[in-house]
Chains A and B, each alone.
Chain A
Amino acid sequence: MEHALQLEEMQLVEALRAGDERAFEQLIRMYQASLVRVAQMYVSSRSVAEEVVQETWLAVVNGIDRFEGRSSLKTWIFRIVANRAKTRGEREGRTIPFSALGSPEPAVEPERFDRGEWASPPDDWPEERLLGEETLQVIEAAIEDLPETQRTVVTLRDLQGWTADEVCNALDLSETNQRVLLHRGRSKVRRALEAYLAEGQ
């Protein structure tokens, strides 16, 4: 994929090549948490994931001279972590959880429909409660409760604001599987919100 390197990114790459510590600091602040999250998809534990990320940073620093800007810096860094974590996971004998999506999971409980039409349609959400601080905690808890693959996709897409392409690249997912995981995850978060907002109504 063609990619026009943004000025800001070019400056960051130049600074890294010059060994500028502040540039490195900026990068780890942007990506460390997501790198660990992505690595964790492939390996057995958080500590192994952190090791893989540490190796990734070393590879980034050592390889930055060879970075050609054919992809974004972010895509390049996440390719490195995905490849390393995958190799590590294979050595650990861990199977990647993405290939099998398992059985279908309906977005909405089937009992809410009657012959395909809403029997109990969604209610309007009370704006005042919706915009309360507690609502965000409900969403956070709902995301935390998602199965790991769905949690990772929802976090990267909706919380970190990644594009679908970036997620597919970092997690080695097909576009279809990325959408299925996003769909299942978002549907569950909506259900959790609905349940919370229906309390005490």
Chain B
Amino acid sequence: MLILTRKSGEGIKIGEDVRVVILETKGNQVRIGIEAPKGMKVYRDEVYEKIKQENINASVITTDHMQKLFKIWTDKGMKS
């Protein structure tokens, strides 16, 4: 891993198209600005893990849950 030291306002260029700028540091938090081409996805690296974990949580459904959903749907007047 390449490790660089930067100050607020300084940046890093990755290839031709990507620019990362350190906007502000405050305690143990760093605000970062990222300029990247529109088609390039930039997201916090925990997003994938969070969605994966949520999918795993969601996959443990039972027929009992399905019946409860039906009951909630009818009880809450969601039925049009």
Q: Do A and B bind each other?
A: no
